């Protein structure tokens, strides 16, 4: 049975939860390096302290993807996992800004990342489940729109609370500024509220009688599905491997920015040292810059909705990555804090494409009965480069980049530029008539 086309507002409601999920990611990306620095971490240890993000992703996303493929409840197939992850992630957001030590913050980051991943992965599969192939680009672009909007507000919250609402920090009360604390509390409420909207407003296609019988008869897998996931590594479509190489170098660039942008701004623009007003100002401005690139992501998502009809997702992705590479590397040339906004505009263009175009290129090549687990496995090509960067960037920074965080950003820009070139090598995917019919059938139809 062919899946019906959905209206704009149906796709909007289905993707709205991503607004909340990005509150979690946005607060983490903009503030974790600053939180670690406030708690006493050194610059060359920051990358390793960020290791939680990629490691939890590589474990959680394939497992959650496979579990949701094999699940049917009164809430549906994907929505129970989306809601459960949101509940736990919101609790972790409340606890994070109250950590008294570096290692407690690092431990809680593992919890936060695991639960955000558990909530986020089924969203990707939900789009592939509910949309016909010709609407895939639109569905993932609307997700990018919400990611950009959520990231904009979340990243700017500490700056807004300080400059618009006069929130001040008592230096004797805590190492972590009050504006950051309140921002995490707001993020917890936004995360849960947005996910509840999607869970309430979105329906899923029920499984057929035969599929439901198979789900109920399936015995508990004591390997938690890891055996099946490992076997699937040898069955991945060629297009996933090609896009995986693109993702590898793309996410090295993004990870370098998340980890080292704040320290680079503090050192090169504000000339700040620990426990000074300049340090707090540097952290707030870094968050504002992160908000800027997320705002551009939000606005450029509308360009993607229109532009991909003419360019296709492949050419669009090449152009966007090239723009982002130039922007990221140009941070090294900034001499004033406002110069950074030009660089972040370019990064925002790339970010909008990164969040949507690879998935739009990939989803037509996936077998419908394995969309969830293969989307989760595609996350391997996001987290493996982050694991590599977490393990090696600190060493490279210390021994080859003169311990200058801004040099890590130049390296990240070069990596993103390489990803743009590799996108040109992704071959066009062509289905046979039979494959086309299978791809457009809804889960369980």
* CATH number where 199 lies: 1.20.1250.20
Q: Count of residues for the chain? A: 445
The pLDDT of residue 135 is 79
pTM of the model: 0.70
List the structure tokens of 412. 């990240």
Instruction: Specify if 214 maps to a domain.
Output: no
Q: What pLDDT is attached to residue 224?
A: 55
CB atoms closer than 10 angstroms to residue 424:
11
Residue 244 included in any domain: yes
Return the H-helix or E-strand segment holding 84.
helix 79-95
Give the pLDDT score at 317. Answer: 95
Tens digits of pLDDT across the chain (445 residues): 567 888 888 888 888 988 999 899 889 888 888 888 888 887 777 777 877 667 776 677 777 877 777 778 788 888 889 899 999 999 999 999 888 888 888 888 888 988 888 888 787 778 777 888 777 777 877 877 787 788 889 988 988 998 888 887 665 555 788 888 999 999 999 999 999 999 899 888 887 777 777 766 666 565 556 666 677 777 788 889 999 999 999 999 999 998 899 889 988 898 877 667 777 788 889 989 988 988 898 889 888 888 888 888 899 999 999 999 999 999 999 989 999 999 999 999 999 899 889 988 888 888 876 776 787 778 778 878 888 888 888 889 888 888 889 999 999 999 999 999 999 988 765 544 444 332 222 223 2
Question: Is the residue at 1 inside a domain?
Answer: no
pLDDT of residue 75: 82
Q: What is the domain count for the chain?
A: 1
On whether residue 131 sits in a domain, the answer given is yes
Backbone angles phi, psi at 73, to 5 degrees: -130, 180
Residue 340 lies in a domain: yes
In a domain? residue 36: yes
Residue 213 lies inside a defined structural domain of this protein:
no
Which pLDDT score is estimated for 443? 27
Q: How many Å apart are CA 424 and CA 431, to the nearest integer? A: 20
Which domain covers residue 256, as residue numbers?
8-207+222-439
In the block, tokens 């029920």 appear at 206
Q: Looking at residue 261, what is its pLDDT?
A: 93
The answer to the question of residue 269 being in a domain is: yes
């Amino acid at each position: 049975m062919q899946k019906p086309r959905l209206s704009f507002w149906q796709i909007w409601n289905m993707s709205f939860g991503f607004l909340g999920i990005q509150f979690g990611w946005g607060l983490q990306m903009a503030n974790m390096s600053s939180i670690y620095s406030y708690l006493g971490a050194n610059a060359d240890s920051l990358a390793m302290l960020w290791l939680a993000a990629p490691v939890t992703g590589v474990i959680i996303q394939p497992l959650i993807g496979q579990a949701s493929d094999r699940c049917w409840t009164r809430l549906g197939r994907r929505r129970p996992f989306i809601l459960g992850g949101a509940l736990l992630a919101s609790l972790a957001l409340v606890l994070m800004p109250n950590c008294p030590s570096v290692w407690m913050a690092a431990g809680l980051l593992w919890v936060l990342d695991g639960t955000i991943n558990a909530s986020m992965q089924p969203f990707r599969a939900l789009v592939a489940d509910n949309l016909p192939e010709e609407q895939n680009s639109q569905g993932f672009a609307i997700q990018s729109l919400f990611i950009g909007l959520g990231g904009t507000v979340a990243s700017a919250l500490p700056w807004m609370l300080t400059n618009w609402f006069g929130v001040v920090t008592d230096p004797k009360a805590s190492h972590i500024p009050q504006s950051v604390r309140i921002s995490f509390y707001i993020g917890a409420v936004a995360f849960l509220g947005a996910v509840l909207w999607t869970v309430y407003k979105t329906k899923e296609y029920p499984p057929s009688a035969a599929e439901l019988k198979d789900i109920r008869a399936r015995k508990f897998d004591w390997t938690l599905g890891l055996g099946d996931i490992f076997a699937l590594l040898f069955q991945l479509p060629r297009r996933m491997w090609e896009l995986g190489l693109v993702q590898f170098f793309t996410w090295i660039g993004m990870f370098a920015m998340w980890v080292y942008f704040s320290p680079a701004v503090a050192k090169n623009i504000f000339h700040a040292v620990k426990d000074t007003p300049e340090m707090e100002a540097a952290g707030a401005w870094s968050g504002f810059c992160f908000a800027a690139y997320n705002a551009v992501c939000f606005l450029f998502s509308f360009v993607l909705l229109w532009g991909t009809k003419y360019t296709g997702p492949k050419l669009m992705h090449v152009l966007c990555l090239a723009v982002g590479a130039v922007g990221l590397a140009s941070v090294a040339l900034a001499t004033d804090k406002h110069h950074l906004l030009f660089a972040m505009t370019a990064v925002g263009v790339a970010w909008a494409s990164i969040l949507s175009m690879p998935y739009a290129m990939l989803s037509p090549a996936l077998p419908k009965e394995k969309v969830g687990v293969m989307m989760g496995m595609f996350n391997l090509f996001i987290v493996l480069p982050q694991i590599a960067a977490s393990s090696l960037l600190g060493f490279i920074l210390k021994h080859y980049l003169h311990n200058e965080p801004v040099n890590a950003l130049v390296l990240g820009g070069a990596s993103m530029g390489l990803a743009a070139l590799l996108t040109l090598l992704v071959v066009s995917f062509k289905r046979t008539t039979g494959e086309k019919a299978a791809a457009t059938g809804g889960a369980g139809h």
